[in-house]
Amino acid sequence: MTHTPTAIRALLEAHGLEPSRALGQNFVADPNTVRRIARLAGVGPGDRVVEIGAGLGSLTLALVEAGASVTAVEIDRHLLPILEEVVAPHDVTVVPGDAMALDWASVLGPPDPERPWALVANLPYNIATPLVLDLLAGVPQIERMLVMVQREVGERLAARPGQKAYGIPSVKVAWWAAAEVVGRVPPSVFVPAPRVDSALVDVRRRPAPGDDDLRRDVFALVEAGFGQRRKMLRRSLAGLRTPAEIEAAGLRPEARAEELELADWVRLAQGAG
């Protein structure tokens, strides 16, 4: 039911198309991989799934096969007729548009705790991080995500304090959710094959530790701290927190940003004034 490499190439050739580098198009062309993604996402009959960058429908078909009702978002107007043709027999709604600019309330409807949405997607590498953060910040309808991204991007989204990949995106994701790398995907399953490995990242919402005002304060400190990540906090946060205020939050002024977990940043922000 899902696309093979031969099927992908045939669809593109039949419509006189080639993958767009500008849109970061690398189509998954391995039935086992898309079924694995659907399985890791934990979607099944009755689940509402939104897919961003549906492309030629490879992953879409696997999600349908699992029993999900899919809303497939695609920005490339050249691919839309193919996608609509591929998914026509199935429970799929195709939405043309840019995921970074969509009116998500119109697409997904109001939040419904009884029927939350899951995002399952092979995200274009160039927008993966800002898109995940935007969805966490502004689309509460989406309760969980299983996204395929560039390996380095995935590691940054899910990194913990002390890990090499730990940085600003790691802390920002942690504000809203728990993230974990749950799998790797080699370049060989894509058409065309990218030059990098991909990671599968599971993102699950959890209660945020504070309101939007506190979030803005926390993020300002995080950006300052990691903006000079090799410097001690007393230097990287100079002008924002004094050494005494850092100590009052239970932290060492000699510590570096990469050592602090979300709760540490929250205490630093709450200690102002």
Q: What is the pLDDT of residues 218-240, one digit of tens each?
A: 999 999 999 988 899 999 999 99
Question: DSSP assignment, residue 258?
Answer: G
Distance CA 16, CA 137 (A): 39
The whole-number pLDDT of residue 150 equals 95
Question: DSSP assignment, residue 3?
Answer: P
- Say if domain 212-270 classifies as CATH 1.10.540.10: no
**Which residues are CB-contacts of 231 (< 8 A; sequence separation ≥ 6)?**
256
The whole-number pLDDT of residue 1 equals 65
* C-alpha pair distances (Å), 261 with each of 164, 168, 171, 257: 14, 11, 7, 9
**190 sits in which H/E element:** strand 190-191
Distance CA 203, CA 215 (A): 19
Domain positions in the chain are: 5-205, 212-270
* C-alpha pair distances (Å), 95 with each of 42, 81, 104, 242: 23, 12, 11, 50
Which amino acid is located at 224 in the chain?
A: A
**C-beta separation of 84 from 94 below 8 A:** yes
The whole-number pLDDT of residue 273 equals 44
The whole-number pLDDT of residue 24 equals 81
Which amino acid is located at 6 in the chain?
A: T
Helices (H), 92-209: 104-108, 128-138, 151-158, 168-176
**C-beta separation of 154 from 165 below 8 A:** no
**C-beta separation of 161 from 259 below 8 A:** yes
Over its C-alpha atoms, the chain yields an Rg (Å, rounded) of 20
Question: Which residues of the chain, if any, have pLDDT below 70?
Answer: 1, 272-273
Tokens of 56: 């030629």
Q: 113-129 b/e with 16+ CB inside 10 Å = b?
A: eeebbbbbbbbbbebbb
Could you check whether 5-205 and 212-270 share the same CATH topology? no
The whole-number pLDDT of residue 10 equals 87
Q: What is the largest CA-CA distance in the chain?
A: 68
Distance CA 126, CA 93 (A): 25
CATH topology of domain 5-205: Rossmann fold (3.40.50)
The whole-number pLDDT of residue 67 equals 96
The whole-number pLDDT of residue 5 equals 79
> How far out from the chain centre does Cα 194 lie?
19
Angle (CA) 96 101 104, round 5°: 75
